[in-house]
Structure 1
């Protein structure tokens, strides 16, 4: 208004006529009054109100894409459900006041709804919401819980390189029965037991994923919902599954209670619910009961032999298993050196208690992979010897343990540079468990090193579909970038590199492939930016690149990679 009052007013009237009024009318709303640049609208249904608001904000966002930032008109919307008083063609009451205050805390172009409104629309409107927690609203006595409507996932989002990539929010379910196991709630009141609840959910995921008749979302994607109020319908849409399992673990003294319920993500109907009580010494039997009941509820035709396989216990030692779970909790922090060192220590402690714990050997070996990726260990004989020892034991003890085989295969390929054996172990893991996202990810990288980039792209795509919101997504995307790079598709490689760095801006393999692909695509500015950040994080030079990049079998791949990095400005 300060720059152009008449033009702004004309634009505002045009928006009301073209977008606001049609959206309100289409969803049976009634404009009570206008208030300068705002308006008060009443709907008979919260569902109608939210749908109308979403339609309008998305239309505004689309219209604004071609408008310079300083000339855009953006609206905030607040929605509440409550009693109102009609008087002289106006409405009054706390319900109106709260809606107005919610509008005030909404983001420009956003929608903020009260908890009362959220309960009315949950599962009925195709949207996702983020919990904003308790909000203190001006002139409202008690703090109120509020929700932010997520409007992303439609259209395209610009990425730093100037390329664009569509990122759909909703995934269609696969043809076969599909399930996501959400993190179990720790009801013990003891934060130290959080790892125990996490481990229970992870074990059920692992057991279910052995069934080839099921499509199982990987642990890392399911666990992005940890600590959040989750609408199972929303989770089902975001993960692309038909069924969602949620539950809780309550531990007291030497007893444990596990509850679980299976929900149809399309309808919200509860298909199965049960409670399991037992002593800590019977924890694996309880896990078997939960797993068997879930599978029986969603895939009754699964053969008995497959059910018996799902009951297989990772170790007979509960203490070793507890150490292993603690190690996993640290292991999944990835780029943190202290966490990786602690994870290795915990896995080794688990091995000391149970020398036949195959998965612990495999995970310990993989800690060396993380260390090598980040340049924390040189290519020394000691680390190679230790990885050989760990992987040999993992394979000896876990001939049918897909996690142990996949982790060992990747460690042998990357640290020991034994591509042939490493590739064979990952392929064996995929035969045992075709739902193991990390095995598809590892297999993709190995195919790159073997000089088979097109096959690598297929493997990364499978990994990302099985675990679409995985914390390791940056590795899957960076791997896809590498694969496109080695077949000469530099623009696509640069685009995937940008997406990898969106997940983790300081991911070293992502920075390296971003630098090389942008340089080869003729974008020196982006290439130099990536190299500058890479050099800030790690003293990388072309001469020591072999210590951190993969064991490429083809000399032409090494030459192409080094050419890109040299063009990007990486010193010799």
Structure 2
């Protein structure tokens, strides 16, 4: 039989825990697998792929394009997670998917060879519900697809001689970070006050696009809880990474370091909304509280508040007089803006000129529906500021004033929303209005004592203003509130450690960030400065070469111009090692 060779993108998928599922419910598992195979088969065909081999719970397909293969894999995981949303976690049918571009042998339509083996090994190290791609695949898709890519480093896999670099590919809003994988075997100590994580609510509407609406409901409950001083509330960036994963609640509580975990579901039909929620004690898996709520779409904020009030009562938390007024402040507006808002925020997370432009359009569409929707106003302020920071808009003065106006409108619409003050602090920092930036950062923390982003932004303002010790404290608190998504705060902590005269700590923290975000210029700059001060000049020069390879037009003066340091001596301390290590003037 003839054997031919060709270069293809190999797509390998396999069900997690298939034998366990069959042992528990053979008929139900076969039915569920058939439904999911229909989803996979359809998406593979839509993206120009060809199914080569199937064996029970596994699928092997080939694509002529790495971009189509990865896009198909990510879309498949999103669709498959949706099918799990109506099931209890022990009945989830979750796939692992691996993608590799390589040379394969073809015989009678079947695929063989190292290209297939590598894809299969990448599939085996993927988390359930996630996509793991090879370094070769990453190089083909990184600048094309608006996805998040998390570098897992070199992976030694069975029967493959050389280590294979792996990346987790996924949607920007919910890709688990390498920190999440690394932390899954560790425990965080419980705080000395009630602690809670809010998981993404299941979308029970039967319409995938309603996932945005379900996310908005869960986020609003989380945001309200985060205003309460006597609670510790984990940030969405960490709690939402468990979307679609069949993890035990006790394990989630251990990973996040919380006593309680809130689960929920949302069913939207016409103008009616039905919410269900349950609060679970992660120490033993017992239910502390559960209830259902139903009402008109226009009453959705009241329904969310009823859930939150019941949680506060179940945890026996006493609110101060000021908290009562702030936490239960009556809100107005339509939840229909959620979809535009979440799309805009998702696009904003991918720092590129075109995605920020698209983010701005989506946020402006949300505000066209509800001009006082504070989340959209806040993210729009950050988006406009970043467009100037990264040189994507030239009208610096006008844009900063526009961003400041959006932040001011957010504070006017909702004086209790910490993100409005965060946005003001962020803009003021890049306007070099340091006292106003610091005051806004402190106000954000006062209003959002459980908001990890508030500590991150306030810490960044402190860092550039010269208070490095307090910056480090704030960034540590940010990381406790978001233990699985903490790179932003770690970069500012690394900068603070560097200026505090601890280049070893700065080097180590920056290096950990670069494992997940290998091309982050700020982390690379701190690493260079730390290495140079430690006498590791060759490593510093090598890091500068990597920076210039990604950004050929980068110069020391251009880099310095974008750093809003209050004191010239602090700026020189970072930029001088970059020049000495070979960055052009």
> What TM-score results when the alignment is normalised by the length of structure 1?
0.68
1:238 aligns with 2:255: yes
> RMSD across aligned C-alpha pairs, in angstroms?
3.4
Rounded Cα–Cα distance in structure 1 between residues aligned with 2:124 and 2:306 = 37
Alignment correspondent of 2:468: 453
Q: What pairs with 1:359-438 in structure 2 (closer than 5 Å)?
A: 359-372=375-388, 374-377=390-393, 380-414=396-430, 416-438=431-453
Larger RCO (CA within 8 A; separation ≥ 6): 2
The equivalent residue for 1:496 is: 509
Are residues 567 and 358 of structure 1, via their aligned partners in 2, closer, same or farther at CA, if it must alter by over 3 Å? same
C-alpha displacement at 1:79, in angstroms? 12
**Do the aligned partners of 1:516 and 1:567 also contact (CA within 8 Å) in 2?**
no
Structure 1 residue 525 displacement after superposition: 3.1
Contact 1:409 1:426 in 2 (8 A): yes
Contact 1:263 1:271 in 2 (8 A): yes
Contact persistence 2:385–2:403 (CA under 8 A): no
The alignment partner of 1:278 has SS state of strand
Structure 2 gap ranges (5+) = 1-16, 24-55, 58-87, 99-122, 128-151, 155-178
Quick one: which of 509, 512, 530 aligns to 2:525?
512
Larger Rg: 1
Change (3 A) 1:359 1:169: same
Give the distance between the partners of 2:509 and 2:531, measured in 1 at CA: 11
In the TM superposition, residue 324 of structure 1 has moved relative to its aligned partner by: 2.6
**Unaligned runs of at least 5 residues, structure 1:** 1-77, 85-100, 103-121, 124-129, 136-145, 151-156, 160-164
**Normalization by structure 2: what TM-score?**
0.67
Runs of 4+ in 1 over 4 A off after TM superposition: 78-84, 130-135, 146-150, 165-168, 372-375
| 1:73 paired residue number | none
Q: Report the more deviating stretch, 353-362 or 288-297.
A: 353-362
Change (3 A) 1:210 1:554: same
In the alignment, is the contact (CA less than 8 A) between 2:410 and 2:420 conserved in 1? yes
Secondary structure of the residue that 1:266 maps to in structure 2?
coil
Which structure 2 residues correspond to residues 3-402 of structure 1 after superposition, within 5 A?
133=96, 169-302=186-319, 306-307=323-324, 309-312=326-329, 314-331=331-348, 333-372=349-388, 374-377=390-393, 380-402=396-418
1:522 aligns with 2:538: no
Report the 3-state secondary structure (helix = DSSP H, G, I; strand = E; otherwise coil) of the residue aligned with 1:571: coil
Residues 528 and 132 from structure 1, CA distance in 2 versus in 1: closer, same or farther, beyond 3 angstroms?
Answer: farther
- 1:483 counterpart (490, 496, 501): 496
Alpha-carbon separation, structure 2, partners of 1:292 and 1:173: 23
TM-superposed CA distance for 1:391, in Å, is 2.9
State the 1:327 CA deviation: 2.4
Q: Is the partner of 1:442 in helix, strand or coil? A: helix
Query: SS of the counterpart of 1:180?
Result: strand
Q: CA deviation at 1:378?
A: 5.1
With over 3 angstroms needed to count, the CA separation of the structure-2 counterparts of 1:496 and 1:83, relative to structure 1, is: closer
Number of residue-to-residue matches in the alignment: 429
Q: 1:82: Cα distance to partner?
A: 12
Asked if the contact 1:437/1:466 (under 8 Å) is kept, the reply is: yes
Does the C-alpha gap of structure 1 residues 169 and 369 become closer, same or farther in structure 2, counting only changes over 3 Å? Answer: farther
* d(CA) in 2 for partners of 1:361, 1:516: 37
